[in-house]
Amino acid sequence: MSGDTGLRPATRADLSATPLECAPTLLGAHLVTTIDGERTTLRVTEVEAYHGRGTGDRPDPGSHARMGKTNRNATMWGEPGHLYVYLSHGIHSCVNVVCGPEGLAGGVLLRAGEIVEGADAATRRRLERGGVVRASVDLARGPGRLGDAVGLRHPQHDGIDAITGEPRGGAVARLLLPTALVAGIATGPRVGVAGVAGTDAFPWRMWIAGDPTVSPFRWGRGAREAAQAGPARRTGADAVLD
DNA sequence: CCCTAGATGCAT
DNA sequence: TGCATCTAGGGG
């Protein structure tokens, strides 16, 4: 079994490796946000890695960075440890931790987590944005809900520094990493990502196996096509690494 | 330009 | 399944 690992403040060096390498180290991490004096702590339970051209050993067709630098995704090219906050479907603000060296695009999407402090504030933020809260495990279950719960929004908080904790847009964010890799990390295809390369080439979703706050798997366009050609997958899980 | 599709969530 | 509603790419 896994003993409780400790936590320590993240450094830029911790996040200067490729997103795929950084992703598992972010499971169990804490993202602490303070907005209008209200503090919320998120324990990260599910992530996805996204590379840019030139990062890692192959191009990533699912990444916002795949077509090069734009106004929207510029934060992905910046220093590691900042947060890339983007608008999804014109509605949801989703949060990535920028990874890899400055000048090379990359990030790890925080897909789900457990609110371990500030559940009242997180609940209110979600309700204010038109969400519904049925159970506390659902507060940050899914990237859109997670963004609402921690209070980070596009565009005002895009690029906020989670290493120094420098305020941006009225918010402060800090990232704490586990001192050891958490046990029971499951891997599988990313959710909702279309792409000609399909599922099997990019099992870049990672989560803490069995954790109730992990978001439900949903077939993406590319994932469905790939699955039809290969073995059936119901849960999206490829493997559990201990 | 206009159309489509998207790293989503929610009601129907 | 459709909608909310913003960004970006691809095709006229």
> CA–C1' distance A192–C11 (Å)?
25
| pLDDT value, residue A239 | 65
Residue with tokens 């944005």: A129
pLDDT at A20: 96
Q: Any idea which of A35-44, A165-174, A200-209, A213-222 has the lowest mean pLDDT?
A: A213-222
Angle at A27 between CA A199 and CA A44, to 5 degrees: 100
Which pLDDT band holds residue A197 (cuts at 50, 70, 90)?
Answer: low
CB neighbourhood size of A74 (10 A): 14
At residue A76, the pLDDT reads: 97
Confidence category of residue A193, pLDDT binned at 50, 70, 90: confident
Which secondary-structure segment (H or E) carries A24?
helix A19-26
Q: Residues 20-79, chain A: which have Cβ under 7 A from strand B?
A: 48, 50, 62-65, 73, 76
**How many whole angstroms separate alpha carbon A193 and alpha carbon A237?**
15
Res A233 pLDDT > 50: no
With a cut of 60, say whether residue A196 has pLDDT above it.
no
Q: Which of A202, A211, A206 is nearest to A187 (CA)?
A: A206
Rounded distance in angstroms from the CA atom of residue A144 to the C1' atom of nucleotide B9? 7
User: Of A16 and A201, which is predicted with more confidence?
Assistant: A16
Bases in strand B with any atom closer than 7 Å to a protein CB: 5-11
For C4, which residue's CA is nearest its C1'? A91
What's the pTM value of the predicted model, to 2 decimals?
0.94
Q: What is the pLDDT of residue A192?
A: 78
Mean pLDDT of chain A: 89
Under the banding of pLDDT at 50, 70 and 90, the label for residue A78 is very high
Report in angstroms the alpha-carbon separations of A29 from A120, A223, A236: 21, 28, 23
Six-digit token string for A84 = 């890339």
A68 touches strand C (CB under 7 A): yes
